[in-house]
């Protein structure tokens, strides 16, 4: 049976508006072969210290030339109770009135918290964030990334970087610029930013060389043990036969 949904467009990057309590982590435009409609699915990630109760978005369909098709569609993700770092929204579908939409733009216009307060996103510009880099990508290989984890903790997987009021910790958690320590692992961002990468690469090269030497020694020891066993068997077998 053919798949009911066909992906027509995906957001190339995560979207963020300065000061917003959420990221638009992913988005896709789907063609529903059964209803003959175009659907938009979005995934959000909370970067708020307060629990989120609802998120209101505005989605505009675009044609193949990138021009707006019809009026923007408003959609409310309600009843969330989403804590910090939670991802949500990906199980909901926004029906677009234009069945020939080729892509879309999206913005978050309002976020309501469980304590009744709200964030007003009216007029906020939702633009792309850089793709976060793994330690291996940023440092040029798994060996240096491994050395980083040896020195700073085995949970270190991402390159510490900041952008537009947010910073990514080595553990992968997203923090706000007002937070000196990571809310998840409590690492200090100033210390992470001052890491001596040259020293780290030197340590990595030394460790790799030491491990290679240990491998050679272990192989030599194994060969020596096998040789001794062969000699012992050569002496023992005739004795047993006699």
DSSP letter, residue 29: E
Flag the least confident range among 86-100, 167-181, 204-218.
204-218
Q: What mean pLDDT do residues 148-166 have?
A: 93
Print the SS3 string covering 168-218: ECCCCCEEECCCCECCCCCCEHHHHHCCCHHHHHHHHHHHHHHHHHHHHHH
pLDDT level of residue 135 (50, 70, 90 thresholds):
very high
Q: What is the pLDDT of residues 143-152, one digit of tens each?
A: 888 888 888 8
The alpha-helical segments, DSSP class H, found in the chain are 135-139, 142-152, 189-193, 197-241
The pLDDT-based confidence of 140 (bands split at 50, 70, 90) is confident
* pTM confidence score: 0.79
Least confident of 134-138, 148-152, 159-163, 215-219: 215-219
């Amino acid at each position: 049976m053919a798949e009911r949904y066909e992906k027509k467009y995906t957001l190339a990057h995560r979207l963020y508006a300065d000061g917003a309590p959420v990221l638009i982590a992913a988005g896709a435009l789907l063609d529903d072969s059964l209803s003959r409609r175009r659907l938009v699915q979005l995934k959000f990630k909370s970067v708020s210290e307060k629990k989120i109760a609802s998120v209101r978005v505005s989605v505009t369909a675009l044609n193949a030339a990138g021009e707006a098709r019809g009026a923007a569609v408003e959609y409310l993700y309600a009843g969330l109770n989403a804590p910090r770092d939670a991802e949500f929204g990906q199980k909901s579908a926004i029906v677009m009135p234009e069945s020939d939409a080729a892509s879309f733009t999206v913005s978050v216009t309002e976020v309501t918290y469980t304590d009744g307060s709200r964030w007003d996103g009216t007029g906020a510009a939702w633009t792309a964030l850089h793709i976060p880099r793994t330690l291996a990508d940023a440092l040029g290989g798994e060996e240096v990334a491994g050395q980083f984890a040896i020195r700073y903790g085995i949970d270190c997987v991402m390159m510490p970087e900041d952008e537009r009021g947010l910073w990514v910790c080595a553990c992968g958690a997203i923090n706000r610029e007002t937070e000196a320590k990571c809310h998840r692992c409590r690492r200090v961002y100033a210390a992470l930013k001052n890491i001596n990468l040259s020293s780290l690469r030197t340590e990595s090269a030394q460790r790799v060389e030491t491990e290679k030497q240990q491998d050679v020694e272990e192989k030599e020891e194994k060969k020596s043990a096998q040789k001794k066993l062969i000699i012992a068997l050569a002496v023992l077998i005739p004795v047993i036969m006699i």
